[in-house]
């Protein structure tokens, strides 16, 4: 239940930032955001999975794991800073 609730929280947070979020049954979230999000997040100490090298995808597709609420809040906060 905790993972399901946190997944909803993250999906809403990403969607509120204007990112395209794709639904899944897994404990991670796949989404499309500005292509430079990986570098911006990394410069702030956050490592996310860049999926741009997946067959059929290009830059701007990412995958993140669902974590604890405080970690998820921090991630959204970092992403907000990246979009400014």
pLDDT tens, position by position, 18-56: 999 998 888 899 999 999 999 999 999 999 999 999 999
Task: Take residue 56 and report the two structure tokens written for it.
Answer: 């059929």
Q: Assess contact for 75 and 10: CB atoms under 8 A.
A: yes
- What's CA 14's distance to the chain center, in Å? 6
Residue 65 pairs with which residues in a beta bridge? 28
Of the pLDDT bands very low, low, confident and very high (cuts 50, 70, 90), residue 84 is low
| pTM of structure | 0.91
Q: Assess contact for 51 and 76: CB atoms under 8 A.
A: no
């Amino acid at each position: 239940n905790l993972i399901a609730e946190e997944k909803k929280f993250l999906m809403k947070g990403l969607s509120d930032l204007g990112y395209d979020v794709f639904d899944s049954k897994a404990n991670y979230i796949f989404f499309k955001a500005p292509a430079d999000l990986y570098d911006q997040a990394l410069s702030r100490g956050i490592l996310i999975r860049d999926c741009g090298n997946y067959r059929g995808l290009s830059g701007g597709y990412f995958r993140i794991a669902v974590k604890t609420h405080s970690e998820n809040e921090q991630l959204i906060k970092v992403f907000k800073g990246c979009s400014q």
